[in-house]
Amino acid sequence: MTSYDGYCVKCREKQQFDGQEVELANGRRAAQGSCPACGTKMNRILGKK
């Protein structure tokens, strides 16, 4: 797993989370993981390779 930073909607602040890279339904790359503070699912859209 790689570490990413993203915005947690529940905590309303930026958090650093461990996640894995996935491909969304529209073909975009994204990192998905859970917030270390509250456990909510977090997503971060990644750039193209």
49 pLDDT tier (thresholds 50, 70, 90): confident
Task: Look at residues 45, 37, 38, 39 and name the one whose alpha carbon lies nearest to residue 6.
Answer: 45
| Domains held by the chain: number | 1
The average pLDDT across 11-22 equals: 95
Q: Quickly tell me which residue has 């930073």 as its tokens.
A: 5
The average pLDDT across 17-28 equals: 95
Q: Is the pLDDT of residue 6 over 90?
A: yes
Q: Is the pLDDT of residue 48 over 90?
A: no
Domain that holds residue 11: 2-45
Output the pLDDT for position 1. Answer: 81
Determine if the pTM surpasses 0.85.
no
15, 35 contact by CB (below 8 A):
yes
